[in-house]
């Protein structure tokens, strides 16, 4: 562009207010790449404005994921925006930080090889579950091949699991045997196992912090039941603990609970760094009890300072910032900080549970005691109430609150429940305000029955 042209353009556009710029007077391109470049300030503002249409993350009480973080975390994320986790040779210090996080978790979860066991970061618990599941499948296959048995029908046994385990089953061709819950339980019970396990069971997946209700499944009892099964049949069935939430809660506020590598049958554990690990979105962890529990065939080596470093992952390139922020949280909070935050979250959840118990219409299924900091409830009698919890979700949405309504898992799927997650940054005062709105909307729905027939759109995670 000739200089005088450029100057003319600047005179025309440069002094304009952002919203009188010609771009802001038009619809933004929605499906096609625009032909020309545009002013970064204007475009940034347009995109940022569009994001206002999203719900407010801090009022999203359906998610387990981090929605509050310190400025220091944002700064570290910014600092590491250009680092690729897979380039261990180029970013050796980042690679070391990942290893430190693995050791910290191996220690926290009582691995007998605390400092030397194997584990890795992932994009979340879903990828971690795939890796944990694959390790079980490979170990099982080696076992059966050694006995000269067929290996074409692997299965795994679990209670009501998060969707990632259904994905694992389908993507990696393993039958999922999801045990239906009994009328008086919210998760898998130890005495149900014997009807579901056989010699093709690659493992039992136990959930510490059910996505549906927040309860912990009883890892220790399940391990004992598997001991008995082994005594009777010879099948040595390992446990993988899906501690997506609980892995970062139980070590701090349920110290007497036996659920981790202190139980020899527990061979691997996953957890979401971006849930109660309080890291920003995009990090999970999976740790094996010992090096021997991860089959060597699944490990690939990448260059690392002239040597080689073992990696096990579904992705190749991956952002490193979340892992660095995880390490920051570990150092910043320590045991003291994690304990204080998880305790506060639990006591806020329990307070909310107490308050909801005083509302006649509601039946509390989980009141925040003994599992993760959440409450789960249903309507005592939907017919009599004249509205559903989906209607209540809709009404609360008008105040900005996002609260999940969904059916309970198999066998109790006729019960609709709601779940409210308390995480770091959900203060007691926010819950006072929520309760105010919730009481008001229940009154409204009581006085206006029949008006409400909300679509059953569930948005639980
Ligand atoms: C959230 C969750 C997952 C999936 O974790 P992501 O980190 O979102 O991939 C798996 N299992 C349980 C029990 C969960 O709560």
Tell me the domain boundaries of the chain: 3-53, 73-330, 343-451
Mutate to test the pocket of ligand 1, among 125, 284, 461 (most ligand atoms within 8 A of CB): 125
- Which of 5-14, 286-295, 296-305 shows the lowest mean pLDDT across its residues? 5-14
The rounded mean pLDDT for the chain is: 93
> Which ligand 1 atom is at minimum distance from the Cα of 161?
13
Residue 460 pLDDT:
46
The band of 24, judged by pLDDT with boundaries at 50, 70 and 90, is confident
Ligand 1: atom nearest CA of 243 is 13
Q: Say how many Å lie between the CA of residue 202 and the centre of ligand 1.
A: 21
Does pLDDT of 452 surpass 60?
no
Please tell me the distance between residue 107's alpha carbon and the centre of ligand 1 in angstroms: 22
What is the distance in A from the centroid of ligand 1 to the CA of 413?
A: 21
pLDDT, mean of residues 94-109: 97
**Residue 457 pLDDT more than 60?**
no
Q: Select from 125, 134, 124, 132 the least CA-distant residue to 173.
A: 134
Is pLDDT at 430 greater than 50 in this prediction?
yes
* φ/ψ of residue 110, rounded to 5: 60, 45
Report the nearest atom of ligand 1 relative to the CA of 272.
7
Architecture of domain 343-451: Alpha-Beta Complex (3.90)
Q: Residue 25: what pLDDT?
A: 85
Distance 64 CA to ligand 1 centre (A): 8
pLDDT of residue 49: 94
What is the mean predicted confidence (pLDDT) over 372-400?
96
CA 126–ligand 1 middle distance (angstroms) = 6
Confidence at 458, pLDDT banded by 50, 70, 90: very low
Q: With CA atoms as reference, report the closest residue to 326 among 109, 100, 83.
A: 100
CB 212, CB 95: distance < 8 Å: no
Residue 451 has pLDDT above 50, yes or no: yes
Q: Could you tell me the distance, in angstroms and rounded to a whole number, from the CA of residue 270 to the centre of ligand 1? A: 9
Evaluate if residue 459 carries a pLDDT over 50: no
- Residue closest via CA to ligand 1's atom 5 equals 125
Q: Ligand 1, closest atom to CA 207?
A: 13
The answer, yes or no, to whether residue 183 has pLDDT greater than 90, is no
With 80 as the cut, is the pLDDT of residue 15 above it?
no
Phi, psi of 24 (to 5 degrees): -75, -5
For residue 421, pLDDT over 50 is answered with yes
Write down the pLDDT at residue 125: 98
- pLDDT at position 418 is 97
Render pLDDT for 151-168 as a digit per residue (tens, 0 to 9): 999 999 999 999 999 999
Please tell me the total number of residues recorded for the chain in this structure: 461
Residue among 126, 169, 283 to mutate when testing ligand 1 (max atoms within 8 A of CB): 126
The reported pLDDT for the residue numbered 115 is 85
Which of 214-223, 307-316, 321-330 shows the lowest mean pLDDT across its residues? 307-316
Look at residue 453 in the predicted model and tell me its pLDDT.
57
pLDDT at 387 over 90: yes
pLDDT band at 21 (very low <50, low <70, confident <90, very high): confident
Fold of 73-330: 3.40.640
* Predicted pLDDT at 13: 59
Q: For 166-175, what is the mean pLDDT?
A: 98
Cα-based distances in Å from 17 to 12, 21, 25, 31, 52: 11, 6, 12, 27, 20
Looking at the predicted structure, is the pLDDT value of residue 3 above 80?
Answer: no
Q: From the CA of 192, how far away is ligand 1's center (Å)?
A: 24
User: According to the model, what pLDDT value does residue 461 have?
Assistant: 45
434 vs 114, more confident: 434
Over range 321-329, report the average pLDDT: 98
- Render the burial of 3-39: b for 16+ CB within 10 Å, e for the rest: eeeeeeeeeeeeeeeeeebebbeeeeeeeeeeeeeeb
What percentage of the chain carries pLDDT values higher than 70?
94
Averaged pLDDT for residues 71-76 = 98
Q: In terms of C-beta density within 10 A (0-12 exposed, 13-18 middle, 19 or more buried), how is residue 84 classed?
A: middle
Distance of CA 21 to the CA centre of its chain: 42
228 CA to centre of ligand 1 in angstroms: 30
**SS3 string of the chain?**
CCHHHHHHHHHHHHCCCHHHCHHHHCCCCCCCCCCCCCCHHHHHHHHHHHHHHCCCHHHECCCCCCCCCCHHHHHHHHHCCCCECCCCCCCHHHHHHHHHHHHHHHHHCCCCCCCCCCEEEECCHHHHHHHHHHHHHHHHHHHHHHCCCCCCCCEEEECCCCHHHHHHHHHCCCEEEECCCCCCCCCCCHHHHHHCCCCCEEEEEEEECCCCCCCECCHHHHHHHHHHHHHHHCCCCCEEEECCCHHHCHHHHCCCCCCCCCCCCEEEEEEECCCCCCCCCCCEEEEECCHHHCCHHHCEEEEECCEEEEECCCCCCCECHHHHHHHHHHHHHHHHHHHHHHHHHHHHHHHHHHHHHCCCCEEEEECCCCCCCEEEEEECCHHHHCCCHHHHHHHHHCCCCECEEEECCCCCCCCEEEEEECCCCCCHHHHHHHHHHHHHHHHHHHHCCCCCCCCCCCCCC
Token pair, residue 343, equals: 């305790």
Ligand 1 mutation target, pool 62, 65, 124, most atoms within 8 A of CB: 124
Confidence of residue 410 (pLDDT cuts 50, 70, 90): confident
User: Both tokens of residue 222?
Assistant: 């399940």
Whose alpha carbon is nearest atom 2 of ligand 1? 244
Q: Taking residues 314-321, report their average pLDDT.
A: 95
Q: Which of 63, 122, 158, 275 to mutate to test the pocket of ligand 1 (most atoms within 8 A of CB)?
A: 275
Which residue bears the tokens 């801090």?
58
Ligand 1 centre distance from Cα of residue 338 (Å)? 20
Q: How far is the CA of 430 from the centre of ligand 1 (A)?
A: 25
Distance 174 CA to ligand 1 centre (A): 19
Residue range 102-124, pLDDT digits in tens: 999 999 999 999 889 999 999 99
Mean pLDDT of 194-223: 97
> Which atom of ligand 1 has the smallest separation from the CA of 124?
7
Gyration radius (Cα) of the chain, Å: 25
Residue 386 pLDDT greater than 60, yes or no: yes
Predicted confidence at residue 360, as pLDDT, reads 95
Global confidence as pTM:
0.94
And the tokens for 97? 């930080």
pLDDT (0 to 100) of residue 456: 52
Q: What is the pLDDT, as a whole number, of residue 304?
A: 77
Which ligand 1 atom minimizes the distance to the CA of 209? 13
User: For ligand 1, which residues put their CB under 6 angstroms from it?
Assistant: 64, 124-126, 162, 164, 207, 209, 211, 242, 244-245, 272, 284, 461
Residue 9 has pLDDT above 70, yes or no: no
């Amino acid at each position: 562009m000739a200089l005088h042209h450029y100057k003319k353009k600047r005179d025309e556009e440069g002094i304009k207010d952002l919203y009188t710029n010609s771009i802001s007077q038009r619809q933004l391109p929605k499906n096609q790449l625009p032909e020309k470049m545009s002013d970064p300030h204007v475009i940034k503002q347009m995109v940022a404005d569009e994001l206002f249409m999203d719900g407010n993350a801090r009022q999203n009480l359906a998610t387990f994921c981090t929605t509050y973080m310190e400025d220091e975390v944002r700064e570290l994320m910014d600092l590491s925006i250009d680092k690729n986790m897979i380039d261990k040779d180029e970013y050796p210090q980042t690679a070391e930080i990942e290893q430190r996080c693995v050791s910290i978790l191996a220690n926290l979860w009582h691995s007998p090889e605390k400092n030397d066991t194997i584990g890795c970061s992932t994009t979340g618990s879903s990828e971690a579950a795939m890796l944990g599941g694959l390790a079980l499948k490979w170990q099982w296959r080696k076992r059966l091949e050694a006995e000269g048995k067929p290996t074409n029908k692997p299965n795994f046994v679990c209670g009501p699991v998060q969707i990632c385990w259904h994905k694992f089953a389908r993507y990696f061709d393993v039958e999922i045997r999801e045990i239906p819950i009994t009328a008086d339980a919210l998760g898998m019970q130890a005495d149900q196992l014997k009807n579901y396990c056989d010699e093709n069971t690659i493992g039992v997946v136990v959930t510490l912090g059910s996505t549906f209700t927040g309860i912990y499944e009883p890892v220790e009892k399940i391990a004992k039941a598997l001991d008995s099964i082994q005594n009777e049949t010879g099948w040595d069935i390992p446990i993988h603990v899906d501690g997506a939430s609980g892995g970062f809660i139980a070590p701090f506020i349920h110290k007497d609970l036996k659920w981790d590598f202190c139980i020899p049958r527990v061979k691997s554990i996953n957890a979401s760094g971006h849930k109660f690990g309080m890291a920003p979105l995009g990090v999970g962890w999976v740790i094996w009890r010992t090096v021997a529990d991860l089959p060597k065939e699944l490990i690939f080596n990448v260059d690392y300072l002239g040597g080689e470093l073992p990696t096990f992952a579904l992705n190749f390139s991956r952002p490193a910032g979340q892992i660095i922020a995880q390490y920051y949280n570990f150092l910043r909070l320590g045991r003291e900080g994690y304990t204080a935050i998880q305790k506060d979250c639990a006591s806020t959840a329990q307070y909310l549970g107490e308050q909801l118990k005083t509302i006649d219409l509601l039946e509390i299924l989980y009141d925040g005691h003994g599992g993760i900091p959440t409450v789960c409830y249903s309507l005592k009698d939907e017919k009599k109430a004249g509205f559903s919890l989906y209607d209540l979700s809709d009404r609360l949405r008008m105040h900005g609150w996002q609260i999940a309504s969904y059916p309970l898992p198999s066998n109790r799927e006729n019960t609709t429940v709601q779940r409210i997650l308390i995480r770091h940054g959900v203060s007691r005062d926010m819950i006072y305000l929520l309760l105010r709105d919730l009481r008001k909307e229940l009154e409204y729905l009581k006085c206006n029955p029949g008006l409400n027939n909300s679509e059953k759109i569930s948005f639980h995670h």
